[in-house]
Amino acid sequence: MFKALYAVSRIPEWKDVSLRLSEKFSIQPVYWICSSAFRNDIESTYRGIIYHETVDANRGIFPEGVMVKNFLWKNTILEYAELEREFYVLLNRHDIDGSFSYEDRKRLYYSQLNYWLNVIHNMKIDVLVLSETPHAISHFVLYTICKKLNIRTLMLSLTTLPGTLYVKESFSDVPIIPVNKKDTEKLNQVMSVNINKILNTNESPWYMIKQRKLFVRAGLTIRLQALLSLFPFLLEKVRILPRKPYNEFYKKRGKTFEESDYTRSEFALKRMELRKRQYRLRQSYRALCETPDLNKPYLYFPLHFQPERSSCPEGSVYADQQLVIQMIADKLPDDTYLYVKEHPSQFLMTRGALGRTQYFYEDVKKLPRVALVDDTFSSRRLIENSLSVVTLTGTAGMEALFCARPALVFGYAWYRKIPGVFYIEDPQELESALARIKSGFTVDTDTVLNYLEQYKSCFFAGYVTRWSMNSVSISYEENVNALYQGIASILLYLGYKENLK
């Protein structure tokens, strides 16, 4: 039997997937991290399992039952130094009011690292199952520890073609593992629809359409909730109403992360503050924007929404996108420009207020031959008239290839091996790529389509989060089978034997 730790998303399919993996591969869950919604179901299915709610795992509230000794010796601290850097960046999404200090982050980091080292060692974990690229802080610590200790890590990955997934061992992997026994007809249908959309229309991605609808609805809801919360908030302050903690994952000023217990009324007022900050951020940005001259030679950089996994951890050090902008500005030919456009979600999704400051925009604006473009300006027009598109891992890189434009990729984009993509890791590679692009390098869209055809062996149709359910039409049973076949395929690829009886 192989002991497994599951750190998975809030969809019920994972229980059925785990039962099939237990039966077919003797992979038995002994520790499970997920939302509170599935605690009773998982604990009744797997007697003796340790169930850890995701919010508690991230906040450093640990269950009893794991003996904790000190693993934090000098060599351990140095061995995990890269993790520490990433960890502090990941915590930005929890810093609702700027009170998450360096000392608070360091305290949480050491607590997380020591606890999960104990879990892995004491419970003798053989396999870590992740639903996607780890970007919750507890998941990322677990993932890094398992990688250091050569423990198998299995995960799925969303591609930038909605409704398509692939499996991988590391979050930086490109698709290389064939997936067996999948619904090929469904996959062909999903890929065909999405490729045709990119090739033939200017329609926004499905998630942007959904976000715009939610933004309008949320704007009214947030204001109403804040208004209705004023009276309960005052009554809680004078202790006439009892405090009822609301299970959110934001750090609270004057409290440790594990003690940060917002009530519903407090959180409603905080969301209103975030929306105000977001509005001021948008005003600061648009005041610095200028109308782009599409007749000039330019590179186009559509910024990534932050905080989000597509930039941290999948962008590595370039999660600080200003580093990319500065590097390109330093290497641009004298007659070439860089147009930088903010991601619309930065001003639509409330947590966008946590991912950018007005100083970011002001610093970018100061760079020579770098211009900020209004977030409402057509991204498709900017791509089609550019010399090249710059991205970490984003959809715009694939759109560029379909528009016969090369892509400069700085993160772990799944498509970075496709001809037409320049994967940049150092200044020399950037100089070489810019020289080739400037000399007339072109992309053959037929070659891009042929590569995607080859990738079909590694892709399958499905979803791994409640949010991405909207990206594909598929039943619960079909999705269970898809997720199982994905994980089973990576296990067979790694040499695990399937129980045939």
Cα distance between residue 120 and residue 146, in whole Å: 8
pLDDT at 223: 58
pLDDT at 262: 86
Q: Is residue 156 part of a domain?
A: yes
pLDDT at 198: 83
Q: Is residue 362 part of a domain?
A: yes
- How high is the mean pLDDT of the chain? 91
Residue-wise pLDDT tens digits, 129-164: 999 999 999 999 999 999 999 999 999 999 999 999
Element (H, E) at 130: strand 127-130
pLDDT at 50: 97
Residue-wise pLDDT tens digits, 16-58: 999 999 999 999 999 999 999 999 999 999 999 999 999 999 9
CATH number at residue 158: 3.40.50
Which residues neighbour 332 within 8 Å (Cβ) at sequence distance 6 or greater? 299, 338, 369, 434
b/e for 147-177, b at 16 or more Cβ within 10 A? beeebbbbbbbbbbbbbbbbbbbebebbbeb
Cα distance between residue 109 and residue 60, in whole Å: 9
Q: Is residue 204 part of a domain?
A: no
| Residues 133, 188 share a domain | yes
Give the residue carrying structure tokens 């490109």. Answer: 174
Residue-wise pLDDT tens digits, 424-460: 999 999 999 999 999 999 999 999 999 999 999 999 9
| Residues 170, 70 share a domain | yes
Cα distance between residue 498 and residue 501, in whole Å: 9
Cα distance between residue 350 and residue 332, in whole Å: 34
pLDDT at 200: 77
pLDDT-derived band at 222, boundaries 50, 70, 90? low
Nearest to 156 by CA among 129, 178, 137, 180: 129
| Residues 470, 359 share a domain | no
pLDDT > 80? residue 233: no
| Residues 142, 187 share a domain | yes
The answer to whether residues 137 and 109 touch, using CB atoms and an 8 Å cutoff, is no
| Residues 441, 462 share a domain | no
**Which amino acid belongs to residue 132?**
E
Chain mean position to CA 170: 14
Give the torsion sign (CA, 200, 201, 204, 205).
negative
| Residues 470, 372 share a domain | no
Six-digit token string for 433: 């790529």
Q: Is residue 329 part of a domain?
A: yes
> Average pLDDT, stretch 418-428?
95
Which residues neighbour 93 within 8 Å (Cβ) at sequence distance 6 or greater? 307, 351, 354, 355
pLDDT-derived band at 268, boundaries 50, 70, 90? confident
| Residues 464, 451 share a domain | no
Q: For the chain, how are helix, strand and coil distributed in percent, rounded to 5? A: 50, 10, 35
Q: Is residue 127 part of a domain?
A: yes
Half-sphere exposure of 386 (CA within 13 A, CB side): 31
Cα distance between residue 414 and residue 100, in whole Å: 33
Q: Is residue 20 part of a domain?
A: yes
The answer to whether residues 50 and 64 touch, using CB atoms and an 8 Å cutoff, is no
CATH number at residue 343: 3.40.50.2000
Q: Is residue 275 part of a domain?
A: no
Residue-wise pLDDT tens digits, 108-124: 999 999 999 999 999 99
Which residues neighbour 13 within 8 Å (Cβ) at sequence distance 6 or greater? 476, 479, 480, 483
Residue 307: cis peptide before it, omega within 30 degrees of 0: yes
Residues of the domain holding 351: 291-456
For residue 274, the tally of other CB atoms under 10 A from its CB is 20
pLDDT at 65: 78
Cα distance between residue 301 and residue 329, in whole Å: 12
pLDDT at 248: 72
Q: Is residue 84 part of a domain?
A: yes
Cα distance between residue 59 and residue 62, in whole Å: 9
| Residues 66, 7 share a domain | yes
Residue-wise pLDDT tens digits, 271-308: 888 888 888 999 999 999 999 999 999 999 999 999 99
| Residues 385, 466 share a domain | no
Element (H, E) at 58: helix 54-59
Residue-wise pLDDT tens digits, 298-308: 999 999 999 99
Cα distance between residue 339 and residue 370, in whole Å: 6
> Average pLDDT, stretch 242-270?
82
| Residues 51, 15 share a domain | yes
Q: What share of the chain has pLDDT > 70, as a percent?
A: 91
> Average pLDDT, stretch 74-82?
96
Number of domains forming the structure of the chain: 2
| Residues 364, 346 share a domain | yes
Nearest to 116 by CA among 140, 84, 135: 140
Q: What share of the chain has pLDDT > 90, as a percent?
A: 77
Which residues neighbour 424 within 8 Å (Cβ) at sequence distance 6 or greater? 408, 409, 410, 430, 433
| Residues 433, 488 share a domain | no
